[in-house]
Structure 1
């Protein structure tokens, strides 16, 4: 095999280098492809199971209807797999990336992420996507290298690269439309740079592969549509607000505040007009089986509308044939982006922004703060054996506080509260 053979894609658009694992394992089965094994490793991982008890937008215990991180993840995987397959991506690579995309998120959703980011400020910060890479390549137990270090699930290069939503270090990302400064999002901690460098071999600097772009859009589509569905069923949102000028202005303000000036106010207004004109839902929601069916059909139509628009626009630019890795960019029409942002704005204005002042969210941040401070101070006696605390001779090991943050981030909403009650005492508002 020549060096060119190593990087030249096969007929399916993937090269031998894309199928490599960080630690070689040898051929285990000819009945499944390396990418199929990647997906299976995610499905059977402990990190995926824990998502069933982690907050998506509303807490898992708030009612029986709302989505958890796990149900959201499964929905993202379904949308991403179909869109990726239509574009010629290997569906298992996209599926793996979608199943993995939220593994690093801590208890209590983005509220918990903000709390851990503050607590980890002195050790390189905390970011859910960087934590995902850490889980996949270090923390979730599956493969141990010959030198004794854990290499996590040891996925292929293509699957790992597809799971990296933000392929840059802290402070080195693009300018955020919301703040005008480099985005606070990032995809790798400093002590995970060796595997990041390996998986990004020959990748354009700062550019996501096509499979990661498909995963990212599937995530946007899923949570924008489904968060609105949850809000309607939970009585927090009446979609009739899209016809009222004062409420439309509230949505525009929410989009601008949370997501920046990606589209203009006029473009958002036009997107609202298109969504209303599509007549996807009926005025009023009474919770009946019929109303639930109409709402569910609306979510299905919206998902199809957004995914089909991206598929058609991408194919119009690149033509037929398999589109993989860095052979193409996903094309999302500007009108589609505006419609997705309208749905995000609805979720922000009527669910996410109002909850920020609720006493529950203050208590959640306090729970994580207390746990990190206690475990960082008391060390090994509070850490589970699988996490351990590196000894002084382990020069390459992460600092104690990072190990503590790793364990606290792995907790579910329920286990975080239970651990806090056991070691600290019941949290009070």
Structure 2
């Protein structure tokens, strides 16, 4: 099967199908893999994309998937539910929409990319991603970003295409080429990142059996280069989760802001950040200076006791941080490229080194005081056991235990490799709670 030109849009609006070869959002950008009519004429192609993502079951399932702290948990002191993958995606979308619009991107396009960027993440957050990569080691591995592309173009039931052979196959949400490209952080298969130098479990954006649609998405794009909208999405993702993870950590009482003044704590924060959130070899002094710049701000939350006043001040600090990081990128990018409209492959998002270091420090604080807590490590160990045992049980009993959609795909699969990928697809689709429930059902007689 192959992609075809989508329906004609209003040429006077962003995301319209103008037919102008110099228009960054021309008919090539608004193509869909499978042709289809627009049920509501007058909408732009990217408004349709955004609506499809918003109404998808995959987006709703993110409400039950771990961001940092397990969904549904509350701290006894502060009555604040932690963020989930869904709330993170919504917040990322709000940040990305405004930053993208300020730089000339179509806001619906950037929002659709932000909403969909985490759809492929499995239950139990990055912990679950590690387990599934091991489960799928003989069939190409697992990566949340590659799973997102697979979900958007194959798994999520929305649009179907009849092949020349007469088969009816799912094409997922059938988003535009530009929307799929904007949702792609890592435009290469496993081992294909030129920065890695070697094949291995590094970040990648497409599985081997999804390469045909990936090639269509990337048609005409420079190799290994993310489009401008994807760069806006990526920075918005960093901003949203670094700032909001810190907010959650303060709400939960895991972080005492006064500790950030102590030298042993600051050294530990730098140690966590280097190699994980900033390149290896980064001078710890640069990170210390980044932390000092944040602590020097009048709005920085130096104290938090959960009172209404403290919560309001923390919300103000959250807004200030998001504005600080977005404006830093906007101003630096405008300084490099001027005031024109920046889209697709016409520019690179410029994020100042100082802003990246400040963002990294916030990530490291949440990592050190929340993710590395002893109780969280015990929980993650239990999650790894559950997901590993569940994978074994499904492999042994399939198609029993699979949802109807995946049961049909498993039955139709042509070989063990394809059947193994279906099992991984099923596991990735589960929420934290449904993974535990299915595990209990399938392992009850062990």
TM-score by length of 1: 0.93
The reply to whether residue 47 of structure 1 matches residue 58 of structure 2 is yes
> What is the correspondence of 1:21-420 to structure 2 with a 5 Å cutoff?
21-63=32-74, 64-147=80-163, 148-175=168-195, 184-259=202-277, 260-261=279-280, 263-355=282-374, 358-388=377-407, 390=409, 395=414, 399-420=418-439
Residues in 2 aligned to 1:149 and 1:160: alpha-carbon distance in whole angstroms? 19
Aligned-pair distance for 1:33? 0.6
Aligned to 2:443: 424
> Cα distance 1:387–1:180, how it changes in 2: closer, same or farther (>3 A)?
closer
Residues in 2 aligned to 1:325 and 1:311: alpha-carbon distance in whole angstroms? 16
> Could you tell me whether the CA contact under 8 Å between 1:171 and 1:183 is conserved in 2?
yes
Aligned to 2:21: 8
Residues in 2 aligned to 1:332 and 1:397: alpha-carbon distance in whole angstroms? 45
Aligned to 2:14: none
Structure 2 residues not aligned, in runs of 5+: 1-17, 75-79
Aligned to 2:13: none
User: Alignment partner of 1:165: what SS?
Assistant: coil
Compute the RMSD of aligned alpha carbons: 2.2
Residues in 2 aligned to 1:392 and 1:379: alpha-carbon distance in whole angstroms? 9
Residues in 1 aligned to 2:331 and 2:201: alpha-carbon distance in whole angstroms? 30
Residues in 2 aligned to 1:15 and 1:287: alpha-carbon distance in whole angstroms? 50
Aligned-pair distance for 1:182? 6.7
Residue deviations 1:193-245 (CA, integer Å, cap 9, x gap): 00000000011111000000000000000000010110111111112222111
Residue deviations 1:83-116 (CA, integer Å, cap 9, x gap): 0000000001100000001100111111111111
Residue deviations 1:8-50 (CA, integer Å, cap 9, x gap): 233xx31210000011113443220111000000000000000
Residues in 2 aligned to 1:123 and 1:398: alpha-carbon distance in whole angstroms? 6
Residue deviations 1:375-420 (CA, integer Å, cap 9, x gap): 1111112211111255787549961111011011101011111111
Residue deviations 1:283-307 (CA, integer Å, cap 9, x gap): 3211111111111110100000000
> Could you tell me whether the CA contact under 8 Å between 1:106 and 1:410 is conserved in 2?
yes
User: Alignment partner of 2:319: what SS?
Assistant: helix
The reply to whether residue 18 of structure 1 matches residue 18 of structure 2 is no
Runs of 4+ in 1 over 6 A off after TM superposition: 179-183
Residues in 2 aligned to 1:390 and 1:27: alpha-carbon distance in whole angstroms? 29
Aligned-pair distance for 1:261? 2.4
> Could you tell me whether the CA contact under 8 Å between 1:175 and 1:183 is conserved in 2?
no
Residue deviations 1:346-365 (CA, integer Å, cap 9, x gap): 11111122358732211111
**How many pairs does the alignment contain?**
419
Residue deviations 1:261-298 (CA, integer Å, cap 9, x gap): 27421211111111111132343211111111111110
